[in-house]
Every structure is written in C-alpha cells, then in structure tokens.
Structure 1
Amino acid sequence: MGIYVNRVLNMKHIKVIGFDMDHTLVRYNSDKFEKLTFHESLKKLISEKDYPKEISQFQFDFNRAIRGLIVDKVNGNILKVSLYNKIKTAYHGTKELTYKEQMKIYQGSSVDLSDPHYMSIDTTFSIAHTILFAQLVDLKDAKPELNLPEYANMADDVTFSVDLAHRDGSLKNTVKENLAEYVIKDQQIVEVLERFKKYDKKLWIVTNSDYNYTKALLDYTINPFLKDHKDWQELFEITVTLASKPRFFTEKMPTLKVDPKTALMENYDVKLVPGVYQGGYATKLQEDFELQGDQILYLGDHIYGDIVKLKKACGWRTALVIEELDREVKAYKSTKEISIEIDQLMQEKISLENQIDELYAKEHEYRQKVEKNDVFAKFNDIEKIDKKIAGLIKTYESNFNPNWGEVMRAGVEPSVYASQIERYACIYMTKISDFSQYNPRKYYRPKKRKIAHER
C-alpha cells in the first residue's frame, strides 16, 4: 500500500520521528485482541457492576463495528455520520433503523459531537466496546424484567469495564503470555526504522503502555530483525511510557526516569537525555532537544489522542496509521464497475427528472395541456431506477463492512472520521512499513483538490 497525502510534508526538514506503540509500531491481530477485550469486559460487568450472568453468552462479531462510528448513549443507538454531522446509517443495538425511525428520533438534525451524550469510536481498541454496548441494548429491550440500567448508564459501565481490563493486567498479561497469537511480527517495519536512522533521523516512542508491557512487545517485534543496533533501546533515542496521551500534549506532568534493567523509577526534573521515561510532557521533549514543532513527525493510530490534540497544542507534523485502509482500497478498486453502473443509472434518473420538470413547465408556465399518464410513467421509471440503485449500493457496501459499508464515507459524502483525517493528519497509511516504498528525504505533496465549481 502507499502513503496518502493531505498536506505538504518535506521529510528533509524532519529531524525526529516519533511513534505510538500499540497498533502503530506494534501491529496486533485486531480481531483476536478485540475478542479478548470483549470477553474480559463481560467478566468485569458481571463481577464489578452486578450484571446478570447471562450476558456471558454474548457472541463477538468483529464486523459489527468500524472505526469512526458515534455512540448515542442516551438512545442506545450507534450512528454513522457524515462530515456535516448528518446521520447516514443508524442501529438501535444491533437492529438497523429505517430512515423514518431515524427521523422520528433526530428530526434530521446534525449530531453535536461536543455533547457528552455522544461518544466517538476513534480507534480499533473501541470496537469491543461498541459491540458489547449494542448487545446490552438488545438485551434490555428484549427482557425488561432484568431491570438493566438506562442506556447511558450501560454505556458508562462498558467504558469502566473495558478500561479496567486494560489497566488491571487482564488483557496485557494474556497478550504477553501469547504474543504469537495476538501480535504480528513485521520485519519490514524494523527495516524502515533502521533506514530512517541512516538518514540521521532521531526516533522516539511515546506510548500510553507501561514499561514492562512496552519492553515485552518491542523485544518480540523489534529485536529479532535488527541489523545495525543491538536492541530497540539503542534504536530509539527516547522512549516515553505511560504518557497519558492526549494529556501528554496539553498538560505539564511530572517526569520519571526508568532504569531499563530493573524497571525502577526516580523523579527527573532536569534536561532530558536519551533514555526511557514515564510521563512528562511534549513541550519539554521539544525544548530540551532544541527542536521546532514542525521538525517532529509523530505517527499514531488514534485520531483524537494521537493526532488532533497534538496538532492543535504542539504543531508537530502528524501521520495516522489506519490498519483497515488496505481493505478499503482493495474493496474500492474491486467495486469500480458497480460504481460506474450506479453513476450511469443516476444519469438516467437525472434525465427523467429533467423531463418531468419540462412537463411541469409546459403546464404551469406555458398553459399547455400535459398528459398526466406521461408524468406518472416517468415517475414509475424513476422508482424502478431507485430500486436498482438501492440494490447496487447494498452490493457495493457489502464489499466493505457488511453492516456499515465504507469507513471513509457516509453515503456519497466523506464520513466525519474521514474529514478529521483530512483536516489533522498530514499523511496517512496502513502501516509503518508503507514507508519502505519512499526515500526518507521524500517531499510529500497532495494532489490538487477540485472545488465544486471547478469540476
């Protein structure tokens, strides 16, 4: 796959390349990892929040959610929203809502994403959360006698349980004990990293994972493939663990220095030097290494936690890793014939609409007699075309996610997720190894985007 460009990025000016770890530097078998998260979170709901044991029978289906969805916590709905914040697809639990049902709830209004009733699904780590919440909504509706909490409270309980599973070792201990099952080794990523070093690029890691987990994953994914460095700690000038992103980019937090051999920590309030740390903050990194914000390129997978806050607060250059992007591009290419057929049918529909307009003009402007049957016949032809288009759209979308279609589009418009990518990510890609196709000094330039009147 390639690297896709939203704004000019001259790699000759980049002195430091920083990386998130999870789902960026380290690739996961996301289906298996989210299934593990799903079941561990179920256990937490039962043990910590007194949910009925029958929820342990819930089944995990990775295709039930995609990145970029919006959870309406109050109504128990999951929404796909366009860049204009208009709802294009909606499910109540796992049941798709018709257009009329959507209109009854939302009256065609835009979704205010700043409203705390709405929660964005920004990362692959949120897939299990969404699928679990949807099934709880179904259960509450089907069995009111269970007296499950209100939808919003259930959403908060799921958040609590997923967060606890991440914090208490339930997930990370299982991953560390079964690395081959949950983590993907990618030799090409290591080759890209060492190639960057040959071009005098400094490499940093800024991750929300703790040191022991970070070490276990990097020992497994990086060390075996190194040729010019003895281990990942020599490869990376700075490693920041438990960074608490996005607060790392916006707040000044204490810095601890980590002893890589013992994992013991001590307070550290002097100028940073190469090594391993916990916490701290972005502007200290930048100032202590005497860098301008636009000399640092940071790669992450979380549009909000890694990209948006960083871009606004620090002015670093940004790159988003979207692991499902390769499937999207392949599906897009494989459905080109369907897209062409839809476009042709749309042209036929527009032609019929124009003919109807002419008949109405003939009647209302020129006071000429118009045969009503001629008008009705054209409306019937449009209805037939609409049915064909609807079937083709279903076929088209089934090549992407069977429930939600494309990640990057909501109907014919870009999705709200795609609009955030375009606005805040300088470049984006499927995985770090996509850099292997380009020189580390490359000047990335976006293609000229045509405005509506230029097309």
Structure 2
Amino acid sequence: MASSSSSFTFFRRLLPLCSSKQRAKFSPFSVREGLGGAFRGFSSVSSPEQKISALKEEVRRLEDDSSVPDDEIEKIRREFDAAKQCFLKIPDALKRMPKMNPQGIYVNRNIRLDHIQVYGFDYDYTLAHYAANLQSLIYDLAKEYMVNEFRYPEVCMNFKYDPTFPIRGLYYDKRRGCLLKLDFFGSIELDGCFYGRRKLSVEEINEIYGTRHIGRDQARVLVGLMDFFCFSEACLIADMVQFFVDAKLDFDASYIYQDVRKAIQHVHISGVVHQKILLDPHRYIVKN
C-alpha cells in the first residue's frame, strides 16, 4: 500500500503539466520534459509510443487499487488522454518546423555579402591535397639551401627524408635539442622523446628533464611542429642534430632550429617549391 500511495503521489505531480487549463501551453518540448523528465520510470530517450504505453499501464494499476477514489481515477484518465493527444501531435509539429536551406550560407556574425568583391579559399590541404613526395621535395630543397647558404658540411647533401620518422604534434626543445611528443597533461610520452634520430629511454628522459612532466619554465623553450608541412622540418632538425652528435662536434640546438626554420621559409616564400610542383603536378598533387 505504501508503494502504491507513493507512486500515485508521484504521478499526481504530472497532472498540472497536462491539465486542461494548460493545454494551450503544450509543445513537443514541454511534454518531453514534463513526462519524460519528471516520471522516474520513463527514459528520456523513449519513443512517444513507449511513454503512452507506460502511462496506460500506470492508469490501469491505479484502477485496480481500491484505495484510490473513482473521481481521482477519472481525473487521471482525462489527463492521460490529454497527454496522449499531445504525444500524437508531436510528429505533425515537427513536420511544420521550417527546414534549413541546404544551399544556404550561414555565418555566426553579421556580414553584407553583397559588399564582398573577392572570395578567398585556403589552398594547401583544402583545395589542393599533396602526395607524400612533397615532404621529400621540401626536405631536399631546404637541405640544399642550408649547405649552399649557411655553409653546412657537404656531407649533409646525402641526407634523405624518412617518411616513417616524423608525426604531427611534435615539440622541439631549443635548449636541449630533443624532439618531444607530449600527452594531454603536458608529460613526455614514453616512446616520444628523440635526441637526433635516437629514442631516449625513460631513465635518460628523467636525467635530462628531472621528470616526464614539462613545467611552465621548460615549456618556454619549446616550439611546436604541428601541421603537415612540419614533417620535413622535424626530420631535417633531427638529422642535423644526429650529424653533430655522430661527428662529436659541439653545437647550439637553438641555432639548428633557426637555420632549418629559415631554410624551410625560404623554400616556401621564394616560390621554388611551387615551381617544382608545377613542373610535375602529378607527382606532388593528389587528384580529387
């Protein structure tokens, strides 16, 4: 009896939501929120038919309960019928909702398109998708520039781009010369720390950084290598560091970054990479 009384009391809380005095305020959203949200036994993801069936079972259960007065049962039935009609009208209400124009243009700020004379589109990896050969081209052109302009040793011309080495989202430590892959919390991943082309062990990482977590002070000397064009840059930095390590020559890790960065920028700004692409577009651009 206590359970029936509790359920009946809980059900009566729904009655004002479906009363005849408030029928004009009904909407598909208010019905869903009132009946699906307030009635504990009905899931918010249930279909209207499932909710109607559950309400019908509740009415039948209350009819079998002799402790509930007949006038209360009749009132509940009227409210149930009103709620049922609201549920049945939901599909029609959705059909009457205005549909978005699939050919329309939607922006999050006011702009007069009739005042715009020129439209621009991002080219790289938007209008044009590049093949893996492009990374080798950028790598080779930057390598040649470093040898010819910055007087790096001629042996550096033998370097080859390794497509299996770089990944997106790397950081370069300009103070220590390490390439790092950090996780969401700013900690060095176990397989994500390279000095030149050699992967460092956890013990070596702790010896260099004291901990795997990169603090605010240490982060100031990191530079991000985030996009696709940074693949060739990351590989060239690692190869240059490895060259000086193998030759047992002292070097400044920040100068290596600056030289590689300047060489990469020259390749793009001078237009030399675009000239090479135009000479053999099928080799460097993916047809889509």
Per the normalisation by structure 1, the TM-score is 0.36
Which amino acid in the other structure matches residue 15 of structure 1? Answer: Y
1:102 aligns with 2:102: no
CA distance in 2, matches of 1:86, 1:18: 39
**Which deviations, in whole Å up to 9, do the C-alpha atoms of 1:404-439 show, x marking residues without a partner?**
xxxxxxxxxxxxxxxxxxxxxxxxxxxxxxxxxxxx
Aligned counterpart, 1:176: 278
CA shift for structure 1 position 130:
0.4
After superposition, the Cα gap between the structure-2 partners of 1:53 and 1:111, relative to the gap in structure 1 and judged at 3 Å, is farther
Letter matched to residue 128 of structure 2: V
Whether 1:64 aligns to 2:156 is: no
Alignment partner, residue 452 of structure 1 = none
Match of 2:97? none
**What is the CA–CA distance in structure 2 between the aligned matches of 1:66 and 1:120, rounded to whole Å?**
12
C-alpha distance 122-167 of structure 1, shift in aligned 2 (>3 A)? same
Q: Secondary structure at the match of 2:261?
A: helix
- Pick the aligned partner of 2:259 from 150, 157, 166: 157
Confirm or deny that 1:24 pairs with 2:126.
yes
C-alpha distance after superposition, 1:34-54 (max 9, x if no partner): 100000001110111111110
Cα 1:63/1:78, change in 2 over 3 Å = same
Secondary structure at the aligned position of 1:140 is classed as: helix
Look up the match of 1:191.
none
Equivalent residue in structure 2 for 1:55, among 150, 153, 156: 156
Matches within 5 A, 1:282-293: none
Contact 1:87–1:111 (Cα < 8 Å) also in 2: no
- Secondary structure of 2:164's aligned partner: helix
Paired positions, count? 174
1:39 to 129, 140, 149: 140
Q: Give the 3-state SS of the residue equivalent to 1:83 in structure 2.
A: coil
**What's the offset of the Cα at 1:112?**
4.0
3-state secondary structure, aligned to 2:229: helix
- Name 1:92's counterpart in structure 2: 195
Structure 2 residue 185 is matched with structure 1 residue 81: no
Kindly provide the CA deviation profile for residues 218-240 of structure 1, in whole angstroms up to 9, marking residues without a partner as x.
xxxxxxxxxxxxxxxxxxxxxxx
Alignment partner, residue 221 of structure 2: 117
2:18 paired residue number: none
Q: 1:164 to 1:113 in 2, by over 3 A?
A: farther
Please give the alpha-carbon distance, in whole angstroms, between the structure 2 residues aligned to 1:143 and 1:84.
36
Distance 2:175 2:218 in 1: 14
Q: Which runs of 5 or more structure 2 residues have no equivalent in the other structure? A: 1-99, 108-118
Q: Which of these residues, 185, 188, 194, is aligned with residue 287 of structure 2? A: 185
Residue 363 of structure 1 aligns with which residue? Answer: none
Correspondent of 2:106 among 12, 15, 19: 15
**Cα separation, 2, equivalents of 1:177 and 1:35:** 16
Question: 1:116 offset after TM fit, Å?
Answer: 4.5
Name the SS of the counterpart of 2:126 in structure 1.
coil
CA distance in 2, matches of 1:113, 1:175: 42
Q: Tell whether the 8 Å contact from 1:113 to 1:119 is kept in structure 2 after alignment.
A: no
- Equivalent runs, 1:362-373 vs 2, <5 Å: none
Aligned alpha-carbon RMSD (Å): 2.3
Q: Which amino acid aligns with 1:140?
A: F
Quote how far apart the aligned CAs of 1:115 are. 4.2
Could you tell me which residue of structure 2 aligns to residue 126 of structure 1? Answer: 230
The separation in 2 between residues aligned to 1:48 and 1:137, in whole angstroms, is: 18
Find the residue that maps to 1:79 and give its secondary structure.
strand
CA distance in 2, matches of 1:124, 1:45: 21
User: Would the alpha carbon gap of residues 11 and 120 (structure 1) be closer, same or farther in structure 2, given more than 3 Å must change?
Assistant: farther
The alpha-carbon deviation at position 93 of structure 1 amounts to: 0.9
Secondary structure of the residue aligned to 2:184 is: coil
Q: Which deviations, in whole Å up to 9, do the C-alpha atoms of 1:124-162 show, x marking residues without a partner?
A: 1010010011011111111135x5x41110011000001
Identity in percent: 23
CA distance in 1, matches of 2:277, 2:140: 14
Between the aligned partners of 1:11 and 1:123, the Cα distance in structure 2 is 34
Greater CA drift, 136-145 or 126-135: 136-145
Taking structure 1 as reference, are residues 42 and 113 closer, same or farther at Cα in structure 2, changes over 3 Å only? farther
- Alignment CA distance shift 1:124-1:113 (3 Å): farther
Once the two structures are superposed, the pairs formed by residues 424-439 of structure 1 within 5 Å of their partners are none
Per the normalisation by structure 2, the TM-score is 0.56
Task: Return the alpha-carbon distance in structure 1 between the equivalents of residues 246 and 101 of structure 2.
Answer: 56
Asked if residue 136 in structure 1 is aligned to residue 136 in structure 2, the reply is no
What displacement does 1:59 show?
1.6
